[in-house]
Amino acid sequence: MNPATIAFVGLGGNVGDAAATLREALSALDRLPDTRQLRASRLYRTPAWGRVEQADFVNAAVKLETRLDARGLLDALLEVERQFGRERDDAQLRWGPRTLDLDLLLFGEGAIDEPGLRVPHPHLHERAFALVPLVEIEPEVVIPGHGTARSALAAVAARGIEALP
């Protein structure tokens, strides 16, 4: 059995009742095999990023302890996305609307660069919508190559991001 590893996952969506979807997805993540949820952020309404002509997103982050390896956790995340109606394909608009997006932000303390799996998430240090909830649950977590989440957030604009009640 693999040793336990701390992983951070970003959640987002902007189709349908995104807040309800993220709450249900957090429960689904807590049921993953050999994985337990340690802490989840609040939900945040965030402006669309990349393709701005779409509805605002709801975003969150969760800290997990898992015995899955990074590829196994990523596969489990993709399966949860499918369960919530997300279909990833080449024809899908990049940064477009989605029911649920689960991104493996950090896995342990190292970096992974394999086909289809890059950790830390390649743009984590640039995206306030991912950093705000991450900083809420673990401000001093280190983003390899970029310093702490708190320092990364201080370097980006976080306008328009608000916690949901």
Catalytic residue (one of 82, 90, 98, 159): 98
101 annotated active-site: yes
Catalytic residue (one of 30, 86, 118, 127): 86
SS3 content of the chain, % helix, strand, coil (to 5): 30, 30, 45
Catalytic residue (one of 101, 118, 150, 159): 101
Provide the greatest CA pair distance for the chain. 46
Dig out the tokens for 156 from the structure. 């980006």
Is the distance from CB of 37 to CB of 30 less than 8 angstroms?
A: yes
Q: What distance in Å separates the CA atoms of residue 163 and residue 36, rounded to the nearest whole number?
A: 24
Q: What distance in Å separates the CA atoms of residue 121 and residue 143, rounded to the nearest whole number?
A: 9
Catalytic residue (one of 71, 103, 118, 127): 103
Angstrom distances, CA of residue 16 to CA of 22, 53, 54, 114, 129 = 11, 16, 13, 33, 19
86 annotated active-site: yes
Q: Which residues are catalytic?
A: 86, 98, 101, 103
